[in-house]
Amino acid sequence: MTAFWTEADYDDHELVQLVRDAKSGLTAIIALHSTHLGPGAGGTRFWHYAEPGDAMRDALRLSRGMSYKNAMAGLPMGGGKAVILADADKTKTPEMLAAFADAVDALGGQYVTAEDVGISEADMAAVAERTQYVSGLPVDGEDAAGGDPGPFTALGIFHGIKAAVKHKLGKDSMEGVHVAIQGTGSVGGGVARLLAKEGAKLTLADIHEDRCEALAKEIGADTVASDAVMSVACDVFSPNALGAILDDEGLARLDCKIVAGGANNQLKRPEHGPMLAKRGILYAPDYVINAGGIISVTLEYLCRNKGAPCDINEVRKRIALIPGRLEQIWQESDTSGNSPDQVADKMAQELIGR
């Protein structure tokens, strides 16, 4: 058997911990990729995986992505991620969350957690009853930063899509620009609402068809079946569901000029970035464009540790830097001939000392 730490996804993680609590039925993995720039920060995913190996791969890839994301966002945090392996019914109990919180606490602040897919603000509030190493907690008032990172992630993606449209299509306005959005949950739904306000033509798809139809009606968008959205002829394809959708088959289906969305780990394998570029499709590296949420939860965490309220304008100011970072990557890509994901990976690796 090959040692799993020699596999590419392992990428010299500093720590990978398997957490088992027989009493509550918790099985979780906490992966810490790098603490070079600070404690490993990244959310907890609650998901049913067909195979335990899929959960390990997800934790490792997401955790490395967080190292890159935090570094590129200029945050004093390293990269980490947790996955809780749910059963097929996605049973989640207070006891499981408590056991998970204790495991986070035992790491003494090396890992700071927050929400990810399948984990709510209320879940994080429950985790916070047993550990201080948590963020994305409910906040009071509209001017306080923090809470659910989804809207902040959506805001960064909205800015990033506008930058991509300017770079690739030379347009300053979203009026009539056609964006096909895969996944209309917390992030994709937020992106859709912001784009609708600026006159974009939207096509939405989600496996939760009723919710997707309701949103489409509210903002005046079209819908397509979730298995058809990648083939929609459009200006921008915005993936906001799950990762690894840009594989051989996915790439062959695309009929767009830009891929820019919030899903983590969109490229199935490293070669899919250059393949996108060869097709003349501009790619916004996922961990750069989707950093809005981690910017919010990190500033919330750092402010709470200082006992000070966190100013939402500071969060917005930092999120507004995302388009500039993307533009820098695209310009470097145009000059060097390397694809945007290769350029971004190199920048991130230099920042984390790899």
Among 38, 42, 146, 150, binds ligand NAD (CB under 6 A): 150
Catalytic (active site) residue 171: no
From the list 81, 162, 201, 257, the catalytic residue is: 81
Q: Is 67 in the site for ligand NAD (CB under 6 A)?
A: no
Closest CA to 234 of 177, 154, 182: 177
> Hey, how many other C-beta atoms are within 10 angstroms of the C-beta on 331?
13
Residue 152's Cβ-count burial label (10 Å; 0-12, 13-18, 19+) is buried
Tracing tokens 């790899």 back to the chain, one arrives at 354
Q: How far is the CB of 245 from ligand NAD (least distance, A)?
A: 8
Q: Is 145 in the site for ligand NAD (CB under 6 A)?
A: no
Among 26, 60, 187, 254, binds ligand NAD (CB under 6 A): 187
Residue 301 in tokens? 């965490």
Closest CA to 10 of 29, 27, 33: 33
Cα 167 to Cα 281: distance, rounded to the nearest angstrom: 12
Q: How far is the CB of 185 from ligand NAD (least distance, A)?
A: 2
Q: What angle do CA 331, 315, 36 make, to 5 degrees?
A: 70
Task: Give the per-residue contact string, 194-233, with ligand NAD (x = CB under 6 A; - = no).
Answer: -----------xxxx-----------------x-------
> Hey, how many other C-beta atoms are within 10 angstroms of the C-beta on 303?
18
Task: Give the per-residue contact string, 281-300, with ligand NAD (x = CB under 6 A; - = no).
Answer: ---------x--x-------
Stretch that binds ligand NAD, among 3-11, 137-145, 186-194, 324-332 (CB under 6 A): 186-194
Q: Which residue's Cβ lies closest to ligand NAD?
A: 185
> Hey, how many other C-beta atoms are within 10 angstroms of the C-beta on 167?
18
150 or 323: whose CB is closer to ligand NAD? 150
Query: What is the chain's percent helix, strand, coil content, to nearest 5?
Result: 45, 15, 35
Q: Is 72 in the site for ligand NAD (CB under 6 A)?
A: no
Q: Is 117 in the site for ligand NAD (CB under 6 A)?
A: yes
Active-site residue numbers?
A: 81
Footprint of ligand NAD (CB under 6 A): 116-117, 149-150, 153, 182-188, 205-208, 226, 240-243, 262-264, 290, 293
